[in-house]
Structure 1
Amino acid sequence: MKKTTCAACDCELGADTIKVNLGGKSVEVCCEECAAALKEAGQSTSATSGAKE
């Protein structure tokens, strides 16, 4: 059986995962805290990528 890990903290995922859409791709995280961290990071990178000179 393949072990899957959280996209944010690399903890092993259990049965209760949370899916987060990040850059058009769906990733799984272990908890709301990791989901919030990834969403924040995604918003931060998308805001700076639009500011090219």
Structure 2
Amino acid sequence: MSEKTCAACDCALDDTVIQVTIGGRVVEVCCEECAQKLGEANAKRGA
């Protein structure tokens, strides 16, 4: 089985995973800081 990693920083995900919807897709991140980074990047993109 492959190891899941954070969509923002590629750190290994554990049981504290956070799901974020970006452009209609749900991605998993390791922490609130990474969730905010993805949200800001998505907003800059205009999505």
> C-alpha separation between the residues in 1 aligned to 2:36 and 2:17?
13
Higher helix share goes to which structure? 1
Aligned length: 47
Tell me which of the two structures has the higher relative contact order, counting C-alpha pairs closer than 8 angstroms and 6 or more residues apart.
2
Question: TM (normalized to structure 1)?
Answer: 0.83
Identity of aligned residues (%): 55
Unaligned runs of 5+ in 1: 48-53
The RMSD of aligned alpha carbons is: 1.1
| Regions of 4+ moved over 6 Å | none
